[in-house]
Structures are given as structure tokens and as C-alpha cells.
Amino acid sequence: MLFSDAYKAECELGFFVAIRAKARRCKRKGIKVQGLKMSVLNCYLALLMNRKSSVSTSLQSSLIYQAIPADHVPMALLLEADPSEASVARYLEVSQCFAALEGETVCGVCVVMNKGTKVEIMNVSVWPEQQGRGIGTALLRFTLEQLKQQGVTQVELGTGTFGHQLTYYQRVGFRVVDILKDHFLNNYPEPIIENGIQHKDMLILAIRLETE
């Protein structure tokens, strides 16, 4: 697997943050580490953070957000967010797809389906090596703006009762409006495990799109 420059910058930064933390612990304990100066570490970390910021900005500026046909979306990308290929296939053929594109490469996708008077987000996914760059948030905001222009006034989605996804959606403005008990137990043949905990219930979140 090829990793993006942004991902590699993130790993390099994390490595030196860990070294600095260890150096500080040694200093507090009075342990002298030969050839290791905090001033040098701090300077190098500042350079890495600037590099990470510039790489992230460069990546965002090279991305295009637009609607794409459903058959242009890689199934493997959708399965990053929804482990049931049968479920994905069912809603994909009757949904709109919005994507973050770098050239002709799909970096992230948001799949939405009309359900009567409301719209439901069925899938939001970004390749793991591209995550942490703000692609998902930018894509979700783009999707909401496109739906607003179509006259949609409310958007809903379902997610687990814990995990980073819940925080991600709430940060954009979604709020919990309902809970479906045992949804993941009743609708998925294989257990969905995150951080060692099995997902059982589904939260329904919604956001109102303000009309001008």
C-alpha cells in the first residue's frame, strides 16, 4: 500500500513527539541522556509541524469535490465504513454519490439516499491512509450544501453509540434524535467490533438545513 506524504509526515511527527516525551521523563528523574538536547528536539518538532501543515494544505488544495456516478465508487472504500457488501449494493444503486477526488482517484465518498421527505446519509468513507487531513469533514459539508441547493431541509444518518464517528458528526452539527435498540445485532451477520467493544444499538442523528 502506498501512503500519502501527509500520512508519512503524521507518522514522523508522532515518532519525535514520543522521543521528546521520553526525554522529558528522563529529565524529571535526573537521568542524563547522552547526545540528546531538548532545544534541538523542540526545534525539529516545530519544523515537522510546519511541514505537516503545509502538506495538509497542499493536499486539500489539490482535491475536487463533486457528484460522481455510483459505479465510479470503489466498493472497497465503501466497505471501510459499512462491512456488509450486500447492504452497500442495495442502497448504492438508488443513491447519490459525492466524492473527494485527487485527479481521477477517489479519496473519499459520501452516499445519500432519498427517503420520502428526508434524505439519509448511508455511507461516509475516506481511505485510511488519507484520514486525518480533514477530507471527510470537507466532503460532508460539501454534501450538505449540495442537498440544501436541491431543496432538502433535513438530513439523517445512523451510527454506533460510541466511537470517533459520533464525535465527527456532532462536530458538523448533527444531533441525536432517536435510538434503534439491537440494530447491529439484528441486521449484520458478523459482530461489528470497535476498540474491543461490540456495536449493538444504532443512534439516529439529524441536522436541519437552513433555507435562505
Whole-structure pTM over 0.85, yes or no? no
Instruction: Please tell me the predicted confidence (pLDDT) of residue 152.
Output: 92
Instruction: Please tell me the predicted confidence (pLDDT) of residue 41.
Output: 52
Instruction: Please tell me the predicted confidence (pLDDT) of residue 162.
Output: 84
Over its length of 212 residues, how does the chain's per-residue pLDDT go in tens digits? 344 444 444 445 455 555 656 665 655 566 665 555 556 555 555 555 554 444 444 455 689 999 999 999 999 999 999 888 999 999 999 999 999 999 999 999 999 999 877 899 999 999 999 998 899 999 999 999 999 999 999 999 998 888 888 888 999 999 999 999 988 888 787 888 887 888 999 999 999 998 65
The domain 64-208 having CATH identifier 3.40.50.720: the answer here is no
Q: Which helix (H) or strand (E) holds 49?
A: helix 38-61
Q: What b-and-e string marks burial along 28-58, b requiring 16 or more CB atoms within 10 Å of the CB?
A: eeeeeeeeeeeeebeeeeeebeeebeebbee
Instruction: Please tell me the predicted confidence (pLDDT) of residue 40.
Output: 55
Give the single-character DSSP code of 154.
Answer: E
Query: Domain locations in the chain?
Result: 5-61, 64-208
Cell match 482517484: residue? 105
CA–CA dist 126, 14 (Å, integer): 21
End-to-end, the C-alpha distance of the chain in Å comes to 45
The amino acid that residue 39 corresponds to is S
